[in-house]
């Protein structure tokens, strides 16, 4: 990948990170999904992370990237190899919560820092939180809570809710229900990686629902939306950013227009760091960044900011530097909750077409300074 020289963004980052000319190399192992139906998510996390490194001239980060193929057993093998052979200080990159649950507890117990750019299972956010585990994106429930709250504003009273049967899917439906005041026309768990949704669409049609909430990231969402459009069913859909992120919108096309989804970030977010990031990403990769790319970018810049202040061999000092979060986040202000998950604004976005491209724009705010509910059970 070529190194992009984007002066404005590099200057912005320099303000937060200070000098990164540290003698001690920080070895980072990225385990992410680069093949199969979830590949778009991992590719964007990787590309956002690498872009941040390319913009930080003179950094001391050594990055090793491997594909987990969305298989928990492979992710575990890669993690152990990275810890034992590559001697990584930090692990990152995992997209799927079932893979995070397979990798993170063992890694942090070995005094490896894990910084999540995506997966945020509830099981790691409460009583099982750990000082070596930081989630830079969100706790899984958070954006779905925003979708539930907005469903109330839209006047939905009988919503059919659906998600894949794995930890993030359970968190998604729990999050939606936590803030949704209406009735449920149905609640359904699908298979992870499912591509045929004819039976589920038939159930929705027969349910009497006035609306649908779905959490189907990556290829699952693409398959569902294409089949939903072909079915002729036209119930309104409310969701979270994962199902209507930029990685899938070109594949779904106009079927996604008008869908409302909750997110902590959007390409049209009006702050200098984000504007420069979007411009730099488009110049480098020729596409609009997704929220996964934004999360990879923020994760890399958080690591860079800590490496500018502390040697990674001093875990306590490096953790403290991570907690200071002295970097320019593309989502705006960045703050940690008590469980080392973000406290942040949750926006409502609408899928729109702008200059021939299908993308998201912010139309409102679901929550200000929103923290996940699990932090109160964390004793860090």
Lowest mean pLDDT among 13-17, 136-140, 256-260, 311-315: 13-17
Whether the per-residue pLDDT at 55 is higher than 70: the answer is yes
Tell me the pTM.
0.93
Q: Is residue 90 within 8 Å of 26, Cβ to Cβ?
A: yes
Nearest 5°: the CA angle 115, 97, 64 is 45
Whether the per-residue pLDDT at 11 is higher than 90: the answer is no
Number of CB atoms found within 10 A of residue 319's CB: 18
pLDDT digits (tens, 9 = 90+) for 239-281: 999 999 999 999 999 999 999 999 999 999 999 999 999 999 9
């Amino acid at each position: 990948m070529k190194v992009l020289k984007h002066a404005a963004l590099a200057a912005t980052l320099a303000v937060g990170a200070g000098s990164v000319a540290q003698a001690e190399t920080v070895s980072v192992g990225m385990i992410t999904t680069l093949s199969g139906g979830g590949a778009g998510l991992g590719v964007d996390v990787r590309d956002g992370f690498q872009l941040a490194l390319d913009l930080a001239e003179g950094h001391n980060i050594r990055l090793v990237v491997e594909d987990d193929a969305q298989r928990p057993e492979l992710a575990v093998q890669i993690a152990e190899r990275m810890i034992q052979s590559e001697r990584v200080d930090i692990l990152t990159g995992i997209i799927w919560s079932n893979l995070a649950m397979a990798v993170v507890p063992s890694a942090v117990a070995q005094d490896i820092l894990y910084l999540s750019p995506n997966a945020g299972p509830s099981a790691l956010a409460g009583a099982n939180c750990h000082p070596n585990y930081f989630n830079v994106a969100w706790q899984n429930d958070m954006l779905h809570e925003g979708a539930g709250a907005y469903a109330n504003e839209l006047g939905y009273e009988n919503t059919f809710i659906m998600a894949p049967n794995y930890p993030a899917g359970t968190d998604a439906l729990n999050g939606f229900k936590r803030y949704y005041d209406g009735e449920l026309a149905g609640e359904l768990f699908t298979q992870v990686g499912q591509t045929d949704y004819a039976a589920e669409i038939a159930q929705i049609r027969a349910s009497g629902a006035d609306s649908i909430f779905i959490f189907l990231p990556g290829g699952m969402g693409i398959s569902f939306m294409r089949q939903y459009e072909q079915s002729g069913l036209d119930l309104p859909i409310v969701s979270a950013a994962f199902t209507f992120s930029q990685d899938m919108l070109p594949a779904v096309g106009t079927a996604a227009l008008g869908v409302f989804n909750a997110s902590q970030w959007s390409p049209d977010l009006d702050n200098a760091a984000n504007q420069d990031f979007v411009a730099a990403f488009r110049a480098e990769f020729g596409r609009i960044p997704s929220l996964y790319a934004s999360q990879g970018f923020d994760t890399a810049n958080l690591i860079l900011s800590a490496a500018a202040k502390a040697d990674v061999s001093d875990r306590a000092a490096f953790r403290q530097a991570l907690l200071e979060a002295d970097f320019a986040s593309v989502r705006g202000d960045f703050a940690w909750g008590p469980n080392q998950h973000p406290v942040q604004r949750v926006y409502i976005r609408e899928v729109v077409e702008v200059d021939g491209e299908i993308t998201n724009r912010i139309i409102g705010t679901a929550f200000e300074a929103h923290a996940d509910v699990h932090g109160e059970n964390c004793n860090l």
